[in-house]
Amino acid sequence: MKYTALATLILIFLNACQTKKSEYLKISGFAQGTSYHITYENSKNEDYTDAIDSILKAFDKSCSMYDSTSIISRINDNDPSVEADDWFIDVFKKSAEVSTLSDGALDITVGPVVRAWGFGTQPMAKHGKAYIDSLLQYVGMDKVKLEGRKIIKKMPGVSLDVNAVAQGYSVDVLAKFFDEKGIKNYLVEIGGEVRGKGTNAKNSLWRVGIDRPSDDNIIPGGQLQAIIEINNKSLTTAGNYRKFFVENGVKYGHTIDPKTGCPAKNTLLSATVVADDAVTADAWDTAFMVLGLEKSKELLKKLPGIEVYFIYSNEKGEYEIFCSEGLKKMISEQK
CA 88, distance to chain mean position in Å, is 15
What is the rounded distance in angstroms from the CA atom of residue 52 to the CA atom of residue 181?
12
The per-residue pLDDT for range 116-162, each reduced to its tens digit, is 876 655 555 566 678 888 999 999 999 999 999 999 999 999 999 99
What is the rounded distance in angstroms from the CA atom of residue 285 to the CA atom of residue 135?
24
Res 124: pLDDT: 53
- What's the half-sphere exposure (Cβ side, CA atoms, 13 Å) at 335? 14
What is the rounded distance in angstroms from the CA atom of residue 331 to the CA atom of residue 319?
18
CB distance 309 to 300 below 8 Å: no
For the cut 80, the answer to whether the pLDDT of residue 186 exceeds it is yes
Range name among 68-82, 98-112, 238-252 with the lowest pLDDT average: 238-252
Res 335: pLDDT: 67
213: pLDDT confidence band, cut at 50, 70 and 90?
Answer: confident
* Degrees to nearest 5, angle at CA 66 with 61 and 69: 45
Q: What is the mean pLDDT of residues 288-294?
A: 96
Domains of the chain are: 1-335 (3.10.520.10)
Helix axes 49-63, 86-101, angle to 10 degrees: 60
Res 126: pLDDT: 60
